[in-house]
Chains A and B, each alone.
Chain A
Amino acid sequence: MTNKDYSNKIFKFILKFSAIVSFSIFVLLFVVLLKHSYLAIKTSKLKFFIDTTWDPVFEKFGALPFVYGTLLTSFLALIISAPISISVALFLSEFANRRLKEFLGVIISLLAAIPSVIYGLVGIFVLAPLMRGYIGPGIQKIFGFLPFFQGSVYGLDYFTASIVLSIMITPTITSISTELFDAVPKSLREASLALGATKWEMIKISVLKTTKVGVIAALLLGLGRAIGETMAVTMVIGNVPNISLSLFSSGATLASVIANEFTEATSDLYLSSLYYIGLVLLLVTLALNLSSKILIKYLVKTK
């Protein structure tokens, strides 16, 4: 029996062991979440997400306010961010020269790297006062008749949270979209230009149309990020478990309620309800990521 037999075998063992540990963490995640949310699942079942009252004192746990808050802020963030992110991506792939592309690339990486808590900090002390003092009243002057813009503007509300979120998800959408646009073959662009298209028309026909599926995948990923984002949202949304049509109301999201109330959860049902929220948050995020991956796979296949 030669020495070398052992060293290769040991090596493979170490590698496999590491992989097993990594995999186990993944399995444990679901085990722990399921275990701790079991009580709430059994108690509240599915009407958990339709009940509107979240009152820990009376042990009433309805999660609809948070579902509402999450959906509202995430979709609003996506609506704000999508045109801007896609435009920046188009700029990078269609207009920018190499140096500019590199420079903007750095800006986008840095934007993506800013910790959530710092976005929240700037949100609280810069954006919220701006909202309260200028932007909110400004919007109300023009659109104040709409139910979405009613009520006093205090600055810590759905609107501020949505804006902060939109900034945070922009790097994600931009970087994926840029890659997609870059991948469009030059010949496709030249084809439409040769037919006399303006730059915008060329982009519409040759770039946007062909990358539509991929861009949707990028948007789904951005949405997933917005849904899971916690700290910045907690800091600017007001943390009130209500449901209101007005964007200037305070609210809460699935992620923010966990951050806010987890350490205060005194009863078993309370804690378990928060775990239940966490489980659902996880599943929704994963579903979005999965759909995004499926779309990209479909894209690659049809090439």
Chain B
Amino acid sequence: MNRKLKDKIFQFFIYLSVSIVSFVLLFITGYVLYKGFSSINLDFFIRLPKPVGEKGGGMVNAIVGSFMIVGIASLFSIPLSIFTGVYLSEYKNEKFANIVRSSLEILGAVPSIIIGIFVYGLVVYPMKRFSLLAGSIALSIIMIPLIARTTEEMLNMVPTTIKEAGLSLGIKNWKVIFYIILNTAKPGVLTGVLLSLARVFGETAPLLFTSFGNRFWHRSILDPAAALPLQIFVYAISPYDDWNRQAWAGAFVLIVIVYILIIVSRRLVLKYK
């Protein structure tokens, strides 16, 4: 076959693929924003869900629930992962560091539904209750490998000469690491944190058997709690039109939150480089 023709077909296919991918993204985003925006009203943000089949109500408990679950998960995971990341960077030659690094890589590859049944067995089953706390634990397990690995990578990117300069001033090792090196790597580390937040905000599977969902407010973190992606899921697969409408509203809010986190983190990465 004609070489030039092959070349043209190939290029056509490439442009086609790029168009398909762009179109899909733009379509999904646009459609969610469109359907969501037209489904949203003030009630959505301030009211609790109505009983099955009744129209109206909102997802205020799910929105707040998501923020709380993610918030508490962050309290656990952010300091822990950053310290782990510092450990991996500082003591990268120690055998234990290599073991930890490998196990975090593996942990990061675990499907989130498995994390869900893991935390169920670890927390929900012994406690004999679904809880917001269990949901937070599940999400923090997803966040830890992400933040730890990013932190380690970003710290490794700081030139050794910076560390040497700090040490040469007679500053204690830990102070050099925290006040100088971590500070230098801050935008990069923050990116990792934001990306992991974007990820867990949208996670449903790990919450299915941990925080489980709730039609009302949770009274404490030991109660099952509603979360935005969970609620979207339940409403989406239900046969009720009004619930379906609210699922779109929820998706709108969720996608806006996630997109903002992603875009901010991208800005940070550019600033760091």
Instruction: State whether these chains interact.
Output: yes
Number of residue pairs A-B, CB distance < 8 angstroms: 243
Is A139's beta carbon under 8 Å from chain B?
no
In the bound assembly, the distance between CA atoms of A84 and B31 in angstroms comes to 22
Which residues of the partner chain B approach A57 to less than 8 Å between Cβ atoms?
Answer: none
Is A54's beta carbon under 8 Å from chain B?
no
B121 touches A117 (CB 8 A): no
Residues A22 and B103 in contact in the complex (CB < 8 Å), given A118-B251, A199-B7, A201-B7: yes
Which residues of the partner chain B approach A84 to less than 8 Å between Cβ atoms?
Answer: 17, 20-21
A278 touches B114 (CB 8 A): yes
A91 touches B204 (CB 8 A): no
Classify chain B's interface size.
Answer: 35 or more
Is A109's beta carbon under 8 Å from chain B?
yes
Which residues of the partner chain B approach A235 to less than 8 Å between Cβ atoms?
Answer: 233, 236-237
In the bound assembly, the distance between CA atoms of A132 and B245 in angstroms comes to 21
Name the residue on A nearest B88 (C-beta).
A19
In the bound assembly, the distance between CA atoms of A200 and B2 in angstroms comes to 12
Q: Which of A271-295 contact B (CB under 8 A)?
A: 274-275, 278, 281-282, 285-286, 289, 293
In the bound assembly, the distance between CA atoms of A26 and B18 in angstroms comes to 39
Name the residue on B nearest A231 (C-beta).
B204
In the bound assembly, the distance between CA atoms of A97 and B24 in angstroms comes to 22
Q: Which of B55-109 contact A (CB under 8 A)?
A: 79-81, 83-84, 86-88, 90-91, 96-97, 99-100, 103-107, 109
Q: Which of B199-250 contact A (CB under 8 A)?
A: 199, 201-205, 208-209, 212, 229, 232-233, 236-237, 244, 247-248
Segment at the interface with A among B45-53, B158-166, B254-262? B254-262
B104 touches A120 (CB 8 A): no
17 A-B residue pairings within 8 Å (CB atoms) = A18-B79, A25-B107, A88-B14, A91-B18, A107-B21, A111-B21, A113-B198, A113-B262, A114-B255, A121-B251, A174-B21, A200-B10, A224-B109, A259-B205, A278-B117, A281-B111, A285-B109
Shortest 6 CB-CB distances between A and B: which pairs? Answer: A115-B202, A228-B111, A11-B174, A87-B17, A18-B83, A15-B87
A residues engaging B (CB < 8 A)?
A: 4, 7-8, 11-12, 14-19, 21-23, 25-29, 32-33, 35-36, 83-85, 87-88, 90-91, 95, 104, 106-111, 113-122, 124-126, 167, 170, 174, 198-201, 203, 224, 227-231, 235, 255, 258-259, 262-263, 274-275, 278, 281-282, 285-286, 289, 293
